Amino acid sequence: MREAPIGVFDSGVGGLSVLAEIQQLLPNESLLYVADCGHIPYGEKTPEFIRQRCSVMAGFFREQGAKALVLACNTATVAGVADLRRDYPDWPIVGMEPAVKPAAAATRSGVVGVLATTGTLQSAKFAALLDRFATDVRVITQPCPGLVELIESGDLHSDTLRALLKSYVDPLLANGCDTIILGCTHYPFLKPMLKSMIPADISLIDTGAAVARQLQRLLAERDLLAEGPNRSVRFWTSADLQSFKNVLPLLGQTANDVQNFGL
């Protein structure tokens, strides 16, 4: 079981930011990644639909012999992680959530901004995070429609992207935010552009590294950490195969083993 792969999925390519953190922390692990691009964005879908997709992904990774599952998507975690943990109590399952706790600890001005999808910001789980960790800070939430779709197309640099991102960031700066949560796994790919439009003393916080650390802890507890340097990565996408292959190198991955995901 130690040499079995780890399953990772997202509604699209955003989870590749989490995959990269896992690769960095756990370089011996073999990874399976499904980009459910045919159903993106999850943030605009019903919770019932997202739970159904989570169930499909879990079943697929079980068939592939995965020793653990990572939901590299805030929206999927909100909707589906509880059901998956109930259905697979023996399986290490790691989800995502916006980094409200570390942001609340990091802020100096007492004002924290959140860039996220509409689905994440409207969820009961996000409201519970605010109630638990943000009682002493002011949180400014900013839904960001359109960003995911641009990143999915491989656009990380265009004037269109910059204008859209600026329209979402400016209100946070105007309200005095000194810490900004990247509440979607797609958004870490925008860090270079974000850093060019915000003051240097503003912190950008995402949870990819924390997810990798949690995965490491769970695998270590079960004596499931891979021992040898046999790392491989296999990709699937539920949308156009060539488009996905074209985007992978732009987001730091090689496109050697990519297949259609027909479920």
Give me the phi and psi of 94, to 5 degrees please: -120, 130
Cα 105 to chain centroid distance, Å, stands at 21
Does the annotation list 185 as a binding residue? yes
Does the annotation list 223 as a binding residue? no
Does the annotation list 74 as a binding residue? yes
Q: Is 227 exposed, middle or buried (0-12, 13-18, 19+ CB in 10 A)?
A: exposed
Does the annotation list 33 as a binding residue? no
Residue in 37, 54, 73, 177 annotated catalytic? 73
* Structure-token match 């996220």, residue found: 116
Residue 184 is among the residues annotated as catalytic for this protein: yes
Does the annotation list 168 as a binding residue? no
Q: Give Cβ neighbours of residue 126 (< 8 Å, ≥ 6 apart).
A: 78, 97, 98, 116, 120
Does the annotation list 75 as a binding residue? yes
Does the annotation list 43 as a binding residue? yes
Residue in 37, 54, 144, 184 annotated catalytic? 184
Residue 73 is among the residues annotated as catalytic for this protein: yes
Q: Please give the annotated binding residues for substrate, written as ranges.
A: 10-11, 42-43, 74-75, 185-186
Q: Please give the annotated binding residues, written as ranges.
A: 10-11, 42-43, 74-75, 185-186
Q: What positions carry a catalytic annotation?
A: 73, 184
